[in-house]
């Protein structure tokens, strides 16, 4: 009897890859854009042209589908390309519901498609546990959520969200970029599609731009998403797919270390005199810690925010005073990053102006704590 392979083993061994010709344990990079046919004019493999994918991409997709417990995965050339493929399946007169605070790039696309397609769009208060259900409409076709919500780290009950939108015939798509399938699997809680920016924890080394969708069912909507990717040519390149596979091999140990570091930092600064609040679902003081603990079963990740005692200018000063932690966009890499989110998102941002977002990496935690301590002196 074949032994069951855990999720950890699947990523460490690149889905138990062994090259049949050479015995190599690392998947190769297939850079070909065209694929030959045999003497009967039948395709030798399953791909006929690079716009429909490549063997390296398929290897990564198979790994991701297994990790999230889905039927199939499709990787795109960017996270927003993946988001757009879902939005493109909507029709005039349908309704999108999303949280007020969320990834601003996806929110901009929602506003754009609503303005041009006759699609209704509304946002609910993600900090209010009752707001989501109260905002569902009879024509809600897509409920898009994050949990935890970036960058306030409010926690949304995925199972409750799924039940609410399914009751009106809509689907639930969960952005799991900040909470990868190491710890949270939205499909198991009722979600229909999971989205990840693979640039974040999945790759983990800040050197791949990409996005992925994983589906619970192979339905008509999923077929349409496949068509959209094929026609738009939004497939991930072979080299980037290979880097993603390589990055995923250390996903579990990276996430565990980042989670441990972040929890220690959150506890250290939770009562700091220069900080109003530390926003981190792993803290027992978090208002929805119980929901987070139920959904995030193996750690709360490295994402956290601090509300400093000060204004936007002072918050930016704290960011600029950091020496170890780098100022930069994105998240989920091995290096620790900081951002003043309101400045990045612009005047429409719903993020508090005294909020500083941290992506805690895998450096020694004492160095990170000391760096934040000295940077906070910039407030005075």
Whether 302 and 361 have beta carbons less than 8 Å apart is answered as yes
Q: Which of 51, 108, 260, 293 is catalytic?
A: 51
Q: Which of 7, 103, 254, 316 is catalytic?
A: 103
Could you confirm whether 175 is annotated as catalytic? yes
CA gap 268, 280 in Å, rounded: 12
The alpha-helical segments, DSSP class H, found in 91-219 are: 104-117, 131-135, 158-166
Q: Which of 185, 200, 254, 288 is catalytic?
A: 200
Omega into 134 within 30° of 0, i.e. cis?
no
CA 142 vs. chain centroid, Å, equals: 18
User: 């995925």: which residue's tokens?
Assistant: 158
DSSP code for 37: B
For residues 225, 226, 231 and 233, what is the CA-based torsion angle, rounded to 10 degrees?
100
CA gap 331, 137 in Å, rounded: 33
Q: Which of 7, 68, 154, 175 is catalytic?
A: 175
CA gap 24, 29 in Å, rounded: 12
Omega into 52 within 30° of 0, i.e. cis?
no
Sign of CA dihedral 114, 115, 117, 120: positive
Question: Rg for the chain (alpha carbons), in Å?
Answer: 21
3-state helix vs strand vs coil in the chain, percent to 5: 40, 15, 45
Pairing of strands 193-197, 171-175: parallel
CA gap 40, 46 in Å, rounded: 15
User: 């969320």: which residue's tokens?
Assistant: 102
Omega into 148 within 30° of 0, i.e. cis?
yes
CA gap 235, 238 in Å, rounded: 9
CA gap 72, 238 in Å, rounded: 19
Could you confirm whether 200 is annotated as catalytic? yes
Which residue numbers are catalytic? 51, 103, 175, 200
């Amino acid at each position: 009897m074949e032994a069951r392979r855990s999720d950890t083993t699947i990523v460490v061994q690149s889905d138990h890859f062994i090259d049949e010709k050479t015995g190599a344990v690392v998947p190769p990079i297939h850079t070909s854009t065209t694929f030959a046919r045999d003497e009967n004019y039948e395709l030798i493999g399953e791909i006929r042209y690079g716009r429909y994918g490549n063997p390296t991409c398929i290897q990564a997709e198979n790994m991701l589908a297994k990790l999230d417990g889905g039927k199939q995965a499709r990787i795109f050339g960017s996270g927003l390309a993946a988001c757009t493929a879902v939005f493109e399946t909507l029709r005039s007169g349908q309704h999108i519901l999303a949280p007020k605070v969320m990834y601003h790039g996806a929110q901009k696309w929602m506003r754009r498609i609503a303005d041009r397609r006759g699609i209704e769009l509304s946002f609910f208060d993600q900090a209010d546990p009752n707001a989501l259900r109260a905002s569902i409409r009879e024509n809600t076709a897509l409920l898009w959520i994050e949990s935890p919500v970036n960058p306030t780290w409010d926690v949304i009950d995925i199972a409750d969200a799924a039940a609410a939108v399914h009751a009106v015939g809509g689907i639930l798509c969960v952005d799991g970029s900040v909470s990868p399938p190491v710890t949270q699997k939205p499909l198991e809680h009722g979600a229909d599609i999971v989205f990840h920016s693979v640039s974040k924890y999945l790759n983990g080394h800040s050197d791949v731009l990409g996005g992925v969708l994983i589906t619970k069912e192979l339905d008509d909507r999923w077929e349409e998403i496949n068509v959209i990717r094929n026609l738009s040519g939004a497939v991930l390149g072979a080299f980037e797919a290979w880097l993603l596979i390589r990055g995923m091999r250390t996903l579990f140990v990276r996430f565990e270390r980042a989670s441990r570091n972040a929890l220690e930092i959150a506890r250290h600064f939770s009562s700091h005199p220069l900080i109003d609040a530390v926003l981190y679902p792993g803290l027992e003081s978090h208002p929805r810690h119980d929901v987070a603990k139920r959904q995030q079963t193996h750690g709360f990740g490295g994402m956290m925010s601090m509300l400093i005692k000060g204004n936007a200018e002072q918050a930016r000063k704290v960011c600029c005073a950091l020496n170890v932690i780098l100022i930069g966009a994105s998240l989920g890499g091995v290096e620790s990053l900081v951002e003043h989110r309101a400045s990045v998102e612009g005047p429409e941002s719903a993020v508090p102006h005294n909020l500083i977002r941290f992506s805690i990496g895998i450096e020694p935690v004492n160095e990170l704590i000391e760096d934040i301590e000295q940077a906070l002196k910039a407030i005075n």
